[in-house]
Amino acid sequence: MQIIEQYSTPFYKNVVDMPPSMVRRLWKRNQLLLLDIRTPEEYVDHHIPGALLIPMDYLEVLSEYFSDKEVAVICEHGNRARVATYGMPHLYKKRAVYMIGGMALWMSMGYEIVRGMDENGLLWEKWLDEKLK
């Protein structure tokens, strides 16, 4: 399988750009953790099944829960995900994928989404409570 990936900068070799089609292919093969950095309200409205919600404001605090995994960072249109990957490359010990176009492009391609809150959408609150104790 040929992976289409692109580096936006030569300075962060662990961060790459990928279109939703390649992110979906790697996700289906369990090679990537989907890290949704939107707000809980956005997550409830629509998200990719199995995506882990960690709102962007809590990424640094909760990075221990995903830093050792290969992740695809996802937001609504791609702006926050770009900041969370290229602006915070120190959060990822392995590869971090910036998903081009975010959820808007994912949905326009007809890929699967679900609505409502699930266990993966609530984990970040549990982890945050544990850290604050």
Instruction: Tell me the C-alpha distance between 107 and 28, whole Å.
Output: 16
Dihedral pair phi/psi, residue 2, rounded to 5°: -90, 125
Q: Does the active-site annotation cover 92?
A: no
Bridge partner list, 98:
17, 73
Instruction: Tell me the C-alpha distance between 9 and 60, whole Å.
Output: 22
Catalytic option among 22, 75, 100, 103: 75
Instruction: Tell me the C-alpha distance between 113 and 61, whole Å.
Output: 27
Which residues are identified as catalytic?
Answer: 75
